Structure 1
Amino acid sequence: MTPEWKTTPSGKLRGKALGLPFEGISGPFNAITDVAGVSVGYLTLISGDGPLKQSHGPVRTGVTAILPRPRDQIDKPLFAGFFSLNGNGELSGTHYIEETGKFALPITITNTHSCGIARDATIRWAVEYLAERYHDDFALPVAAETYDGFLNDINGFHVTADHVIAAIDAAHGGAIEEGSVGGGTGMKCFGFKAGSGTASRMVNYAGETFTVGVFVQANFGTRRHLTVLGKNIGADPDLPQMHEATRDTELSSIIAIIATDAPLLPHQLKRLARRATFGIGKTGGMATHGSGDLFLAFSTANRDFSPGAVRTARFVPDEDIDPFFEAVVQATEESILNAMIANETMIGRDGNLVPALPHAAVKTAFGLGD
């Protein structure tokens, strides 16, 4: 039986199934869910074909929900840090994270024009699920977006509050699907079909083993820059090209969510989030003017944030943080490639076509054969 970290639950091949020689040691599922207590849920919307009829479709979109704690602890804050490599995008809640170094509640990721409803629906979910906690209090949840208007009727506003709540309710641990699912449904990367991707790395430090998990919604990059583990394959003229019935504006972005069970403080998590930059750069991304490259890192390690007393927090000294930086870089790079490899060609609005990244071309670049 193929190990779960080589395929998605539906059987789609991931990067390691092609034999790609990734660095580092992955967790059991090679996913953000390898961090204990973290779960991921999707709601995918695919319907209609042919010419765009605003509000009617075609629809190629969805919602991703990442729960940083188990449901019965979801209102408990976590230390967090945020970094914007290029700010042509949205990730809500960042002012509060910058101010206090913490956040709570599910993280949602969707398309650009549904980010607000994802945020608001998360609050509605919290009010209903945690009625006593949010009876007379505020919530500033994290909601993020990337643009899927090349394939999707983005101005049709097809994502509803019920869809967001369904994604949150669907969240689970273990192996998770990748590719054209959830918020990543209508996304593309380096001119190939992309979307949702994940990976993890294990870090041994001071006699303990910690996990760093990354989840990306990848929607960026120019074809000629695509690089797989140091080999530029995007410049190959024989690779399939996108078919554009309408002009592709190349609006490009990536959201990266980094989870760890290592005890890190907010300023350290901001440093961790910043290192996603290098994983993206290794694939050929360069944060173009129109790109929203927004990264959030959080730690599940410290748990007692209640007021009324002096609290104690564990942390890794800054001088020892380099292995965690390396884990972020490795897992971000692999997450992006998994989002492309575990995918299929998609045709969306107006007949716009985004081809799948050919597995054979990737294997040939590394001399892996059939």
Structure 2
Amino acid sequence: MSRVRLRDLGIKIGRFQTGNHNSITDISGVKVGHVTLSYNNEDGHAIRTGVTAILPHADSLFEEKVLGSSYVINGFGKTVGTIQLQELGVIESPIMLTNTLSVPAVLDGTIRYLLRQNPQIGDTTGTVNVIVGECNDGYLNDIRGMHVAPEHAIQAIQNAESGIVEEGCVGAGTGMSCLGYKGGIGTSSRVASFGDNLYTVGALVVSNFGEKKDLRIPGGDFSKGKESKEKMPDGSIMIVLATDAPLNERQLQRLAKRAAFGLSRTGSYASQGSGDIVIAFSTAHRIPHKLPPNQECNTFHLLREDGELISQLFEMAVDTVEEAIWNSICKATTTEGNKGKVKEEVPYEILMGLKGWNN
């Protein structure tokens, strides 16, 4: 029997409608690609890892950047590119996700991809700021083997598509664990009317945090039963939020902060060693790398912050993050990893306590 998403179980989160695919790709132009590495090598090591790429649009991101921001819920992480993102407020590369020790390889591959796409980088113009996020999949994956190569990053970008996004044990989520069960990639979206406009908020997560005892589901103590006696790393989560609402970089950071509430609803308390990082962007405006001659200013329209509209976006972000996390668990399958370690898929019956709780 194939695994299903949370809504297929009759469980809805929040009051807003989802987009057509209930996915981050419901924001027009956004694409997601995966490369999944799941095999055992000759030495018997289990490789359970991969790369996920999120493209804010399909054109040259270096030439046409998007406004973005990031927020650190807990800073036990090894991301690349977020310092410049916070300073300049623009994203000019695909957002890349992988395991902790594969950040350098993914950075290398993404730089090579962007250099091929943009011959002017480092020659007639400056260098490029690549964004890479990570989670530690070393419980199931032979992380010391560093099996992700630069070409896998390039393939993930080239694989990126709009529409339905693969979830669960794919891409960067292949070896991840969440709330005592198998975790991985999850996504969700919300759509709402703002006067004459219709805006969408979408989230994609790599879930890799928590134990069964942390599950915040009414109806029982889920820490009982088969649980590994080996101490798991504290874990982490990467959260990417996208919207087509016209927000500037400061407003996007405000949106990113709200992801913490969606995360906490599932059971996370951002433990000491948990790296919990949010990246947010808007597709409403594109920032040219170079302005035309005699033009010194970019002109944008932005959403006002003195009414309920911005609060509505915040609520949509919280709901998308929560549902994306549940989807990452719902779609993941039981996985045997390195040294015979196993993370089981979540039994759907324990999620039934969510029915009516969040509606």
SS at the partner of 2:242? strand
Per-residue deviation, 1:11: 5.3
- After superposition, give the CA deviation of every residue in 1:234-287 in whole Å (9 maximum; x if it has no partner): x2355x53445xx33323100000000000011100000110000001001010
Aligned partner of 1:4 in structure 2 is none
Residue correspondence of structure 1 range 116-127 to structure 2 within 5 A = 116-127=104-115
Deviations 1:277-307, CA, capped at 9 Å, x for gaps? 0000100101011000000110010124443
Deviations 1:80-125 (A, max 9, x none): 1110010000221111111111121111100000012111211100
> What runs of 5+ residues in structure 2 fail to find an aligned partner?
none
Q: Which residue of 1 aligns with 2:6?
A: 15
State TM-score, norm by structure 2: 0.92
Distance of 2:330 and 2:53 partners within structure 1: 22
What residue is the counterpart of 1:150 in the other structure? 139
Q: Which one of the candidate residues 184, 189, 214 is aligned to 2:173?
A: 184
8 Å CA contact retained: 1:226, 1:232: no
* Partner Cα distance (1:365, 1:97) in 2: 36
Structure 1 position 97 matched with structure 2 position 85: yes
Deviation at 1:132, TM superposition (A): 4.2
> Hey, what's the Cα distance between the residues in 1 that align with 2:160 and 2:249?
26
- Structure 1 length normalisation: TM-score? 0.89
Task: Measure, in 2, the Cα distance between the counterparts of 1:243 and 1:353.
Answer: 8
The aligned residue for residue 355 of structure 1 is: 344
Structure 1 portions without partners, runs of 5+ = 1-9
The CA distance in 1 between the partners of 2:186 and 2:60, in whole Å, is: 26
- Secondary structure in 2 aligned to 1:263? coil
Query: What is the Cα-based RMSD across aligned positions, in Å?
Result: 2.1
Q: Which residue in the other structure is 1:341 paired with?
A: 330
**How far apart, CA to CA, are the structure 1 residues paired with 2:137 and 2:262?**
22
- Paired letter, 2:105: I
In the TM superposition, what is the alpha-carbon distance from 1:12 to its structure 2 partner?
3.2
> Equivalent of 1:226, from 204, 215, 221?
215
Q: Deviations over 1:122-174 (max 9, x none)?
A: 11001112334565430111100000000010010100011111111000000
Residue 260 in structure 1 maps to residue 243 in structure 2 = yes
How many Å apart are 1:57 and its aligned residue? 2.2
1:277 aligns with 2:268: no
1:295 and 2:278 are equivalent in the alignment: yes
**Using the alignment, how far apart are the partners of 2:104 and 2:61 within structure 1?**
24
**Partner of 1:280: helix, strand, or coil?**
helix
User: When the two structures are aligned, how many residues end up with a matched partner?
Assistant: 349
Percentage of matched positions with identical amino acids: 36
| 1:59 and 2:47 are equivalent in the alignment | yes
Mapped to 2, the partners of 1:253 and 1:149 lie a distance apart of 12
Structure 1 distance, partners of 2:12, 2:114, is: 42
Structure 2 residue 198 is the aligned partner of structure 1 residue 209: yes
Separation of aligned partners in 2, 1:304 and 1:79: 7
Change beyond 3 A, Cα 1:140–1:322: same
Find the aligned partners of 2:179 and 2:110 in 1 and give their Cα distance. 31
Question: Hey, what's the Cα distance between the residues in 2 that align with 1:275 and 1:363?
Answer: 25
